[in-house]
Structure 1
């Protein structure tokens, strides 16, 4: 398998990876077991990223809605960051 720079490996690509055989090569069983673990971890990380991205978008939308609802609110002293406390 040739890894092209810039392409992100997908779990199924890792699971399907093949290697050239050598006279004194690595144990294929260990290599494939390791690749399966890495593919599983990559799959988990991608799911976590999807969940985090979805949650971030939900929070952004909630913030926009809150800002829209409170845009017309009048604050007595706009120059002070916290108008309740005199400087």
Structure 2
């Protein structure tokens, strides 16, 4: 049972993983649309560095949100009385 309490304690990681997966899929769709429009209007594909730049526009703010807005001390205080080992 200690394992499941640990999983519940770190459940935010599942949300963050799902959120990152959705962002990666959205980035893929956006980049494919950009490639299609580039091919349609200019007759050539966009360079790889540009596609990476578009992906970073989604990923960097996400990691910054996770890093700066997640406060582990709140979870510590909330579950400190339930006998969890820190």
Do Structure 1 and Structure 2 share a fold, with TM-score over 0.5? no
TM-score for both structures, normalised by structure 2: 0.42
TM-score for both structures, normalised by structure 1: 0.42
Who wins on radius of gyration, i.e. which is larger? 1
Hey, which of these two has a bigger chunk of helix by percent?
2
**Greater relative CO (CA pairs within 8 A, separation 6+):** 2
